[in-house]
Amino acid sequence: MSAGGARALDLARDIAAGERSAVAVAQAHLDRIAEHDGLVHAFNVVTADAALARAAEVDRAVAAGEPVGPLAGVPIAVKDNLATRGVETTCSSKILQGWVPPYDATVVQRIAAAGAVVVGKTNLDEFAMGSSTENSAFGPTRNPVRTDRVPGGSSGGSAAAVAADFAPIALGSDTGGSIRQPASFCGVVGVKPTYGLVSRYGLVAFASSLDQVGPFANSVADAALLLDAIAGPDPADATSIPQAAEAVLPRLDEGVAGLRVGIVSELLGEGIAPDVAARVREAAEALAAAGAEVVEVSVPAVTYGLSAYYLIAPAEASSNLARFDGVRYGLRVDAPTTNEMMVATRTAGFGDEVQRRIMLGTYALSAGYYDAFYGKAQKVRTLIGRDFAAAYEQADVLLSPTAPTTAFELGAIADPLTMYLNDICTIPTNLAGHAAMSVPFGTGDDGLPVGVQVLAPALGEVPMFRAAAVVEAAAPAPAAFEIAGSK
């Protein structure tokens, strides 16, 4: 199976024109899921009956000449931390196993309004805390490109679903790189939009000042199509940007002539594999050949991003996850007293990584340590924003690796700190609230995908996507692969 199946743009156009049946398209993807997901485990639940019923509605609307939306009949996978009415939403955690939301997340409402067909909910690191999708309570996801490797995390299920052609597009969430890093590992496109561009209503919170929903796709154009469908103001989300989102897809072909591209020097040094760094340099050369002005820029404070993030994000998680107490909803482990019940519930319901981050965050917020840890981390966050602002005075978009290496083997990293280093290139963007995306660009020395990260200032999605489209066009053709163990 080659990397990348039918494009969402092509499917939507053909289905809307009556040249393809939405039911037939949905069934083909469901058949592929049935054949291969036993090995990959991209999905926590496959909503086959609902998908076929929804696809039939799209076909009926097409036959009746009714409008069907820009995602007409396109199968889509949804990360299992986005609320879906009537469909279990677990965050891949025992503490939420069996919880069925009574409402849809705003992004789920928007993809439905655009005509998409949800085929299932995808696996993730529990509560989006991880970089490998090995922290799921329901077992790890495997990378379809090479199934002894991780797909990245925390949105590994969504990235794997797109890479395996289980769905041409998917939704993920990105708190410190959870869309971009798995996109890099799986050889697909992944976008972390500007904070507030896409509604967080119905996204189960990890770190509220950092979380953002975004698309996965097999092409830059498909990612733009999905982003345009989900972006825009939402009165249900107080952090939503109030002005209308600028459409990205119509401007993809504008090229990069005159665009200033800055290579972030701090993200090409120590800790970055030489083969990954080489791909970034080659992408920069392709942008220069297309008419961009390429310069090297410095963003000094990004080197402190990891330290600041792993105080701020756990602190917010400690607060957000306090609601899972065995009283209101989710798992409840009975005990003689209320306090013992809460302890027993949270001990049984949360995995090791989630417990680790709750304890770290609670410590960082505790009396006597708040100023020394959490307060100082927030000051570093401000410095990162200032350094990015200075860099964007010299360049319109920035370029860096998405991840420091290609996908590593399942079970290869047991040390939490080593695992956290996977996010060194992606975390600074979340701290700044800016936009960034990962674009596949060739392979490393091991033959596994490498992602190049294109970064932009807040609301800089249009120039970011223009640069990404040029990088994509210059990228070596993706290597063909078969999912190991497939029929």
What's the token pair of residue 55?
Answer: 């696809």
Question: Is 121 assigned a catalytic role?
Answer: no
Question: Is 154 assigned a catalytic role?
Answer: yes
- Cα–Cα nearest to 264, from 180, 431, 384: 384
Question: What is the DSSP code (8-state) at residue 409?
Answer: B
Residue 385 C-beta-side C-alpha neighbours within 13 Å: 12
Q: Among residues 21, 93, 131, 178, which one is catalytic?
A: 178
> Which residues contact residue 352 at a Cβ distance below 8 angstroms, ignoring those fewer than 6 apart?
135
Give the CA angle between residues 273, 277, 281 to the nearest 5°.
Answer: 170
Dist CA 153 CA 176 (whole Å): 10
- To the nearest 10 degrees (0 to 180), the angle between helices 220-230 and 106-113 is 110
3-state secondary structure 458-487: CCCHHHHHHHHHHHHHHCCCCCECCCCCCC
Question: Is 178 assigned a catalytic role?
Answer: yes
Dist CA 333 CA 348 (whole Å): 8
Distances (CA, A) of 12 to 67, 108, 114, 158, 359: 12, 18, 10, 20, 46
- Cα–Cα nearest to 181, from 128, 249, 121, 256: 128
Dist CA 228 CA 441 (whole Å): 24
Question: What is the DSSP code (8-state) at residue 257?
Answer: T
Q: Among residues 79, 94, 121, 192, which one is catalytic?
A: 79
The DSSP bridge pattern shows strands 397-401 and 293-297 to be unpaired
Q: Among residues 154, 184, 219, 318, which one is catalytic?
A: 154
Dist CA 177 CA 436 (whole Å): 9
Tell me the catalytic residues. 79, 154, 178
